[in-house]
Structure 1
Amino acid sequence: MTHLVFFCGHAGTGKTTVARKLIGPLMKASGSPFCLLDKDTLYGGYSAAAMAMLTGDPNDRDSPLFLQHLRDPEYRGLLDTARDNLELGIGALVVGPLSREVRERRLFDRAWLGVGAQVALRVVWVYTSEELARQRIVERANPNDAYKLAHWDEYRQRRFMPSGEICDDLLMFDTTAPTSADYEALLARIVGEPRAASTMMPPVPV
């Protein structure tokens, strides 16, 4: 069985960091190969070129124009790449905000994803406080975040915390100050082991 694991959440929450910490232990725990598919890595250069041509700002990733015309094609390409790997027997860790897809529970819709029952499907929501997320965004000084910071009041309207039925089967992970035990517990849930078995999982570096 191959695994498709999504690491979703708002900017600055630490999605990529969590995925990178878990990929090695996850391969050991499952005995299967995995690839890491980060939306920004896969499509950052393309989107920069497209936005530079359209608006003159290659770092724009949050304006209405980007969200209307480039967001969805990026995600569709990300999912297509994940599916190609799954068909080759390679698990995929997919990193991207995907907040709309989480809210609408599309990531649990196998027909929408185009994956069958032979794929173990997990969705992790990575979160922290708005204040800490903004601090991390400022500290990493990525030009792609310039629009967010310049229009923070507008951007924060898109931030939300899953609740109610949205949280069914959603693995919540707080990155405010995670410990090794927190990572091991998440790893155990991803590979399908009960929480009590997390101590038997390979150690996860913190």
Structure 2
Amino acid sequence: MTFLVFFCGHAGTGKTTVAKKLIGPLMKASGTPFCLLDKDTLFGGYSAAAMAMLSGDPNDRDSPLFLQHLRDPEYRGLLDTARENLELGVSALVVAPLSREVRERRLFDRAWLGVGADVTLRVVWVHTSDEVARQRIVARANPNDAYKLAHWDEYRQRRFVPSGETCDDLLMFDNTAPTPSDDEALLARIVGEPQPASTMVPPLPV
């Protein structure tokens, strides 16, 4: 059995931190090898070169130009890479915002993903408050975040918060100040049966 696990959420929520923290325990608990596929690692250099040529700003990841022309190809390449690993018997942790795909329930659509019923599919939504996320973005001082910070009010309006039916089978994880028991609970939910949405912790209000 292989696993396809998505760690989704907005900038500053700590998606990559959570994924890196859990990949070792996941391999041990599931008995299967995992690869970590982070969108920024896989496509950051390419997108920087492309945006430098198109707009003169290699750090642009939020303008309409980027969102209209590079976002979807990045995500498709990310999913294609995950699928190739799954076909080789290697489970995948995929780290990317993927907010549109969560909102539209595409990450639960096996036909859209191109994976069969033999793959255990989990989608984790990592979240925290806008204030905490902004503090983390400022602290990490990544040039790719410059557009977000310069257009924060506009950007925060795009910060989709899952609710209602969107939360069905979605594993919500509050990463504001997680404890070891919180990490263990998330691990158990990934390797075990997903809990009904009614038992999940709701996201913090915007």
- State TM-score, norm by structure 1: 0.93
CA distance in 2, matches of 1:161, 1:155: 13
1:154 to partner: Cα distance? 1.0
**Where does residue 118 of structure 1 map in the other structure?**
118
**Where does residue 139 of structure 1 map in the other structure?**
139
**Where does residue 198 of structure 1 map in the other structure?**
none
SS in 2 for 1:162: coil
1:185 to partner: Cα distance? 0.3
CA distance in 1, matches of 2:5, 2:193: 15
- Residues 1:179 and 1:50: Cα distance change in structure 2 (over 3 Å): same
**Where does residue 79 of structure 1 map in the other structure?**
79
1:160 to partner: Cα distance? 2.0
- Residues 1:155 and 1:139: Cα distance change in structure 2 (over 3 Å): same
CA distance in 1, matches of 2:187, 2:119: 17
1:157 to partner: Cα distance? 1.1
Q: CA RMSD in A?
A: 1.0
Amino acid in the other structure paired with 2:126 = V
1:194 to partner: Cα distance? 8.0
- Residues 1:193 and 1:106: Cα distance change in structure 2 (over 3 Å): closer
- Residues 1:55 and 1:110: Cα distance change in structure 2 (over 3 Å): same
**Where does residue 17 of structure 2 map in the other structure?**
17
CA distance in 1, matches of 2:157, 2:73: 23
SS in 2 for 1:84: helix
- Runs of 4 or more, structure 1, over 6 Å off, are none
* Equivalences, count: 195
**Where does residue 201 of structure 1 map in the other structure?**
none
Please give the per-residue CA displacement for 1:80-139, whole angstroms capped at 9, x wherever unaligned. Answer: 000000000000000000000000000000000000000000000000000000000000
- State TM-score, norm by structure 2: 0.93
**Where does residue 31 of structure 1 map in the other structure?**
31
1:161 to partner: Cα distance? 1.3
**Where does residue 198 of structure 2 map in the other structure?**
none
Query: Contact 1:124/1:171 (CA < 8 Å) preserved in 2?
Result: yes
**Where does residue 107 of structure 2 map in the other structure?**
107
**Where does residue 200 of structure 1 map in the other structure?**
none
186-195 or 46-55, which deviates more: 186-195
**Where does residue 130 of structure 1 map in the other structure?**
130
**Where does residue 200 of structure 2 map in the other structure?**
none
CA distance in 2, matches of 1:115, 1:49: 31
Query: Contact 2:171/2:194 (CA < 8 Å) preserved in 1?
Result: no
Gapped runs of 5+ residues in structure 2?
A: 196-206
**Where does residue 55 of structure 1 map in the other structure?**
55
Amino acid in the other structure paired with 1:72 = D
Please give the per-residue CA displacement for 1:139-196, whole angstroms capped at 9, x wherever unaligned. Answer: 000000000000111111110210000000000000111000000000000001588x
Amino acid in the other structure paired with 1:27 = M
